[in-house]
Chain A
Amino acid sequence: MSPQTFSTHATGAFSADEDAPEYTAYGQDWSDIAEEAKRLGQQRIVVNMGPQHPSTHGVLRVMLEIEGETVTEARAGIGFLHTGIEKNMEYRTWTQGVTFCTRMDYVQSMFQEVVYCLGIEKLLGITDDIPERANVLRVLMMELTRIGSHLVAIGTGGNEMGATTVMTTAFIAREQTFRVIEMITGLRTNNAYIRPGGVSQDTPDGAVDYIRELMPDVKQRLDELADLQLENPIFKLRLKGIANLNLSSAMALGVTGPMLRSAGLPYDMRKTNPYCGYETYDFQVPTSTDEDAYSRVVLRMEECYESLKIIEQCCDRLDAMEGQPVMVADKKIAWPAQLALGPDGQGNSLDHIQHIMGQSMEALIHHFKLVTEGFPVPAGQVYQQIESPKGVLGVHLVSDGGTKPWRAHFRDPGFNHLQALSILCQGGQVADVVVAIATMDFVLGGVDR
């Protein structure tokens, strides 16, 4: 293929020694292996962790070279969850693409939808035409998802360290955010709710009251989580001063989000490059200078409280903007109908169907063209970045003037964060690897796409 020769193995070979003994662990037999290694006089062991390890947040393979309990080398191998979403998006209309990109990082699905739609809107030149109510709904959805994503990071992290209660508490709180999201979008996750030009539908009756009803419970669970963890001596021993990443390393490796803020840089896209009207909300960006695993958990907790503040402001605005449009006025871009919930629980808009099937042939043609063909997007390319719970999420979109993307590339923050795994783990204990992975917070669905 090329005159150069590359390392044949994705992560490079640790040893060229053909005679090195190999052990396979099946669980519960670690002492036997250690015994055998001791008999053979082996000091240095290469352990393959994953890909199907419960603490790897998907399917991540970590190759650890250990001496006793100390990790001397750690390498991450990814690609097990690659599903070709970006390639698939090139064969679907711009609107259909939303349902694909939402499935990348399935824990923060709203953020992929938002960044993708913001990119399309920039290509179309309609960024300023998005109705205010749609922007508020986008912010509301993003902040609910941010809480959910952080709770997954904190909860599964606790579970991996042996504290099941942390996980159950976090997931109960996350379920409350899902209740709201489900009420408004119809789905718990992978919603395809954010659409080019706005959002797919307006809130149902009583949605704002429902948010106001549920959020105190989320706050209470967050308090509970803080009480459970932050002053717990075992928790502090496991996390304080562990998996350090200083500012210069973080910058060099393109690490963003809470990882970067834990190293002392108060960098948040919502403040520096506001989108969806974030500049009009009152919230803080928590920052720490401890650069360790503990500070990252604390930052995520604090960010959840800040998100609750933003959600409160969203509720007030939604009340004030009752009845305003949630989709761009341009009928050549806007999705032709909003869904309404029928008595059978299925979404459909009877009024719209009556209109296109019985009254207006032009409306039917318009609907048919827009839904099957989609809308053309002028040729060009844009880059859009937003602050996802995990860090800077970027999208590079290229249009050939057609109704489908020529190229859609997503820059998932976890992809960069995983490169820092070696720095976080090397020189630490084997048990710290799990802490490092848990507090890095990545999801392999987003990393591999």
Chain B
Amino acid sequence: MSDKVSKKDAPKKSPVETAPKKTDIEDSNVDIASAIPDPEGRAPITLINVREGMFSGAGDTSGFGGLTQAVQMPGSSERPYGEWFDGVVDILEELLGDEADAAFEYIVVDRGELTIYVQRDHLLTVMTHLRDDQDLRFEFCLGVSGVHYPDDKGRELHAVYPMHSITHNRHVRIEVAVATEDPHMPSITSVYPANNWHERETWDFFGIIFDGHPSLARIEMPDDWVGHPQRKDYPLGGIPVEYKGATIPSPDTRRQYR
């Protein structure tokens, strides 16, 4: 499935003859991803999207049809993280002990929010500490939101857990990335029972398999549905609409700005 993703918009013939010829996108992905640091000079971690041209769909007449642009998530932050962020990371590192290096992939501070990228094998331990330690006390896990980054090879599927502490009035985001080929990560329902339905929803929409979930069945889509609708390679659907003789394509096939 994923090998098709980056080519979902096949290269169009550029109207400008001198436009740079498109190289194999698989190679250019890697180059672009490592070549462009994020605006603050931090090393990039998540390749959100590789944008090609100015328009989707047929007929990019803008002259920018050959333009390829990699968009990165804000990169890993350096200490000090600021506010109370250092304290939380310190406590977590202390609790995890030797595990800490392997557990944390990246720590990102962006727009006043702390994101901890956790390696999936250590997710359950991290979550247990977040809930139980008196200096962390994240009572609420506000669900899990899946995100699909088809161009981020080997880390296509992300599960994002917004954690909220009532005791300390803090908000932390835990993020776990897995590959489409191996979309397994532990279920945290044993720590946060509230995530039961949320994990079912993320399985339903993204195909992330939460190991250890008591009943990981589809929740929003019918039981016999095929595919995971919120993935980027899953079409939006819709039919062309005719109005006064003209036909307007459905939103995902329509020519639109990138």
User: What is A's interface to B at a CB cutoff of 8 Å?
Assistant: 1-2, 4, 6-12, 78-79, 82, 84, 86-88, 90-92, 122-123, 125, 251-256, 265, 267, 272-273, 372-374, 379-383, 385, 392, 394, 396, 398, 400-403, 406-407, 409, 411, 415-416, 418-419, 448-449
B25 at the interface (CB under 8 A from A): no
CB pair A406 B49 closer than 8 Å: yes
CB pair A273 B251 closer than 8 Å: no
B147 at the interface (CB under 8 A from A): yes
B113 at the interface (CB under 8 A from A): yes
Instruction: Choose among B139, B197, B230 the residue that contacts A415 (Cβ–Cβ < 8 A).
Output: B197
CB pair B197 A419 closer than 8 Å: yes
**Given A92-B251, A394-B162, A402-B258, A4-B221 contact (CB < 8 Å):** no
- Which residues of chain B come closer than 8 Å to A406, judged between CB atoms? 48-49, 147
| Smallest CB separation, A117 vs chain B (Å) | 15
Docked complex Cα distance between A418 and B143 (Å): 14
User: Which of A10, A12, A122, A411 is packed against the most chain B CB atoms within 10 Å?
Assistant: A10
| Residues 47-72 of chain B, each 1 if its beta carbon lies under 8 Å from chain A, else 0 | 01101000000000000000000011
Docked complex Cα distance between A411 and B146 (Å): 12
- Which residues of chain B come closer than 8 Å to A267, judged between CB atoms? 166
- Which residues of chain A come closer than 8 Å to B217, judged between CB atoms? 6-12
- Which residues of chain A come closer than 8 Å to B201, judged between CB atoms? 415
Instruction: Choose among B146, B169, B236 the residue that contacts A273 (Cβ–Cβ < 8 A).
Output: B169
- Which residues of chain A come closer than 8 Å to B112, judged between CB atoms? 122
Could you show 29 A-B contacts with beta carbons less than 8 Å apart? Answer: A7-B215, A10-B217, A12-B217, A78-B220, A84-B229, A91-B251, A252-B192, A253-B193, A254-B141, A373-B257, A380-B110, A381-B110, A381-B160, A381-B173, A382-B113, A383-B142, A385-B164, A392-B140, A392-B164, A396-B145, A398-B147, A402-B257, A406-B147, A407-B147, A409-B146, A415-B197, A418-B197, A419-B193, A419-B194
Instruction: Choose among A79, A380, A419 the residue that contacts B196 (Cβ–Cβ < 8 A).
Output: A419
Docked complex Cα distance between A91 and B57 (Å): 13
- Which residues of chain B come closer than 8 Å to A392, judged between CB atoms? 140, 142, 164
**Given A252-B194, A398-B147, A407-B147, A79-B257 contact (CB < 8 Å):** no
**Given A2-B209, A10-B217, A396-B194 contact (CB < 8 Å):** no
CB pair A402 B111 closer than 8 Å: no
- Which residues of chain B come closer than 8 Å to A82, judged between CB atoms? 220-221
| Smallest CB separation, B222 vs chain A (Å) | 7
Residue of B nearest to A394 (CB): B142
* Extra inter-chain contacts (20) besides given A84-B229, A256-B140, A402-B51, CB under 8 Å: A6-B215, A6-B216, A8-B217, A10-B217, A12-B217, A251-B140, A253-B194, A254-B141, A272-B169, A273-B169, A380-B110, A385-B142, A392-B142, A392-B164, A398-B147, A400-B48, A402-B71, A411-B162, A415-B197, A419-B193
Residue of A nearest to B151 (CB): A400
CB pair B221 A79 closer than 8 Å: yes
Residue of B nearest to A408 (CB): B145
B26 at the interface (CB under 8 A from A): no
Instruction: Choose among B51, B139, B236 the residue that contacts A251 (Cβ–Cβ < 8 A).
Output: B139
CB pair A401 B48 closer than 8 Å: yes
- Which residues of chain A come closer than 8 Å to B139, judged between CB atoms? 251
Docked complex Cα distance between A2 and B178 (Å): 15
- Which residues of chain A come closer than 8 Å to B164, judged between CB atoms? 385, 392
Docked complex Cα distance between A186 and B112 (Å): 36
| Residues 128-154 of chain B, each 1 if its beta carbon lies under 8 Å from chain A, else 0 | 000000000001111101111000000
User: Which of A251, A396, A415 is packed against the most chain B CB atoms within 10 Å?
Assistant: A396
| Smallest CB separation, B113 vs chain A (Å) | 6
- Which residues of chain A come closer than 8 Å to B207, judged between CB atoms? 1
| Residues 190-226 of chain B, each 1 if its beta carbon lies under 8 Å from chain A, else 0 | 0011111110010000010101000111111111000
- Which residues of chain B come closer than 8 Å to A380, judged between CB atoms? 73-74, 110-111
- Number of chain B interface residues as a range: 35 or more
B94 at the interface (CB under 8 A from A): no
Docked complex Cα distance between A8 and B196 (Å): 17
- Which residues of chain B come closer than 8 Å to A8, judged between CB atoms? 217, 223
| Smallest CB separation, B15 vs chain A (Å) | 20
Residue of A nearest to B171 (CB): A383
Docked complex Cα distance between A385 and B141 (Å): 13
B86 at the interface (CB under 8 A from A): no
Docked complex Cα distance between A254 and B147 (Å): 22
CB pair A379 B48 closer than 8 Å: yes
Residue of B nearest to A379 (CB): B71
**Given A373-B257, A411-B142, A396-B110 contact (CB < 8 Å):** no
| Smallest CB separation, B156 vs chain A (Å) | 13
Docked complex Cα distance between A81 and B164 (Å): 29
User: Which of A92, A123, A267, A401 is packed against the most chain B CB atoms within 10 Å?
Assistant: A401
CB pair B257 A374 closer than 8 Å: yes
Docked complex Cα distance between A256 and B160 (Å): 20
User: Which of A82, A92, A125, A381 is packed against the most chain B CB atoms within 10 Å?
Assistant: A381
B252 at the interface (CB under 8 A from A): yes
| Residues 152-190 of chain B, each 1 if its beta carbon lies under 8 Å from chain A, else 0 | 000000001010101001010100000000000000000
| Smallest CB separation, B77 vs chain A (Å) | 13
Docked complex Cα distance between A90 and B216 (Å): 26
CB pair A78 B219 closer than 8 Å: yes
| Smallest CB separation, A396 vs chain B (Å) | 4
- Which residues of chain A come closer than 8 Å to B74, judged between CB atoms? 379-380
Docked complex Cα distance between A448 and B200 (Å): 13
Docked complex Cα distance between A298 and B166 (Å): 24
CB pair A254 B219 closer than 8 Å: no
Residue of B nearest to A419 (CB): B197
| Smallest CB separation, A365 vs chain B (Å) | 14
| Smallest CB separation, B214 vs chain A (Å) | 9
Residue of B nearest to A79 (CB): B220
Instruction: Choose among A88, A125, A253 the residue that contacts B236 (Cβ–Cβ < 8 A).
Output: A88
